[in-house]
């Protein structure tokens, strides 16, 4: 069928190639058009087979995944690539490097799951939705949703100051920024967070759908590149202005108030929206503590995690904004929020940091 998603599987392990191929071939929307044992063979087959997407192992002989990705992006800048990595610190570092080189997403290889059938199910649950997500147009935008202005050129990092302009109508004081993000998130955060000024006046809490180890490495890289502080959250971390805390992989993050101090709390309750950490869990907690004084930001990502949390924040009087479709890798999460009529504005990635800063400062410096 011409509308099937054509996939090339690249891995040096015969066992993994067969497992991935069998799992993908079991889905009627996906056609496995070939396999390759290393990057050199893969580059040759891409030209001949013209896949829509490739799954690319990171550690391979002859030409590994990162080398392959560098060459592939020179010749096929729009080909969708999902990296395959191990759930180790080395695998996490390589996956983040791959994303920075242009990979669209990654999955971790099933490990210690007990059986071949369980490993296949893990792949079925994680890989197939990601593949389909890249070829899904997303929810339709309601007519009443605001239409963003054409994207402007990237702007310099804003500096919070009383003299800065404030948009009319943005009068509710923001005491916390809560961000939900998934597919395409590491690169989007690496672009957006460094635009926030060092004297950012409120705390930031973030859920990025990633496994354990990955979230700490992402936080460390963001911290090195940004003027604000960025850390992976630990239980009992105190929220502070200019500090961004990222929920650790494998844990839901909530907030608790202890006197005048707000701290993080972590739990391993059941996943929500098939995710842990889940955006909805964090957003509910933020809304409970901060009421109307919340700015929720939904960025690129698959699925609709965060939509119910945005409903709660909006009902409490808080503000909700979302990344626009054009700059999102996958317009699932922001599209769901926009489709529900919850987003006040859809904003290109290159303007998102300045818009967050503007909204945070709006009521803080005397705007009536």
Active site residues: 182, 209, 305
How many angstroms separate the CA atoms of 338 and 302, rounded? 14
Q: 177 is written with which tokens?
A: 């920024």
With b for 16 or more beta-carbon neighbours within 10 A and e for fewer, the 182-212 pattern comes to bbbbbbbbbbbbbbbbeebebbbbbbbbbbe
Can you tell me which residue has the tokens 């490993």?
119
Half-sphere exposure of 84 (CA within 13 A, CB side): 25
Neighbours of 222 (CB within 10 A): 23
CA distances from 149 to 21, 202, 301, 346, 348 (A): 43, 27, 22, 9, 9
Biggest distance spanned by C-alpha atoms of the chain: 66
Burial class from Cβ neighbours inside 10 Å (0-12, 13-18, 19+) for residue 349 reads buried
How many angstroms separate the CA atoms of 223 and 241, rounded? 15
Q: Where are the beta strands (DSSP E) in the chain?
A: 5-10, 30-36, 53-57, 80-85, 105-108, 176-181, 204-208, 229-232, 243-246, 252-258, 261-267, 294-298, 319-323, 346-347
How many angstroms separate the CA atoms of 33 and 49, rounded? 7
Contact 320, 310 (CB under 8 A): yes
How many angstroms separate the CA atoms of 107 and 56, rounded? 10
């Amino acid at each position: 069928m011409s509308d099937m998603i054509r996939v090339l599987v690249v891995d040096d392990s015969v066992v993994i190639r067969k497992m991935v191929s069998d799992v993908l071939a079991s889905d009627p929307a996906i056609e496995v058009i070939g396999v390759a044992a290393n990057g050199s063979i893969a580059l040759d087959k891409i030209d001949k087979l013209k896949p829509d997407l490739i799954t690319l192992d990171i550690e391979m002989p002859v030409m590994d995944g990162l080398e392959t990705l560098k060459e592939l992006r020179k010749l096929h800048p729009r080909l969708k690539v999902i990296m395959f990595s191990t759930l180790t610190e080395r695998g996490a570092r390589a996956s983040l490097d791959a994303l920075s080189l242009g990979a669209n997403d990654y999955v971790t290889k099933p490990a210690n799951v007990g059986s071949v059938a369980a490993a296949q199910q893990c792949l079925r649950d994680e890989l197939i939705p990601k593949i389909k997500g890249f070829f899904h147009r997303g929810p339709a935008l309601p007519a009443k949703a605001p239409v963003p202005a054409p994207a402007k050129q990237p702007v310099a990092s804003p500096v919070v100051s009383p003299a800065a302009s404030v948009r009319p109508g943005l009068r509710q004081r923001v005491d916390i920024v809560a961000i939900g993000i998934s597919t395409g998130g590491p690169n989007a955060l690496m672009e957006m967070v460094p635009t926030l000024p060092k004297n950012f006046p409120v705390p930031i809490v973030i859920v990025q759908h990633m496994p354990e180890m990955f979230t700490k490495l992402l936080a460390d890289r963001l911290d090195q590149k940004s003027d604000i502080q960025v850390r992976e959250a630990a239980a009992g971390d105190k929220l502070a202005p200019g500090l961004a805390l990222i929920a650790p992989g494998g844990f839901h993050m909530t907030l608790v108030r202890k006197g005048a101090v707000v701290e993080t709390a972590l739990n391993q309750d059941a996943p929500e929206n098939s995710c842990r950490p889940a955006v909805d869990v964090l957003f509910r907690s933020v809304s409970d503590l901060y009421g109307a004084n919340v700015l929720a930001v939904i960025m690129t990502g698959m699925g609709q995690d965060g939509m119910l949390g945005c409903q709660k924040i909006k009902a409490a009087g808080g503000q909700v904004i979302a990344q626009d479709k054009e700059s999102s890798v996958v317009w699932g999460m922001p599209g769901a929020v926009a489709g529900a009529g919850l987003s006040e504005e859809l904003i290109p990635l290159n303007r998102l940091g300045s818009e967050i800063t503007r909204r945070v400062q709006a009521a803080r410096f005397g705007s009536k």
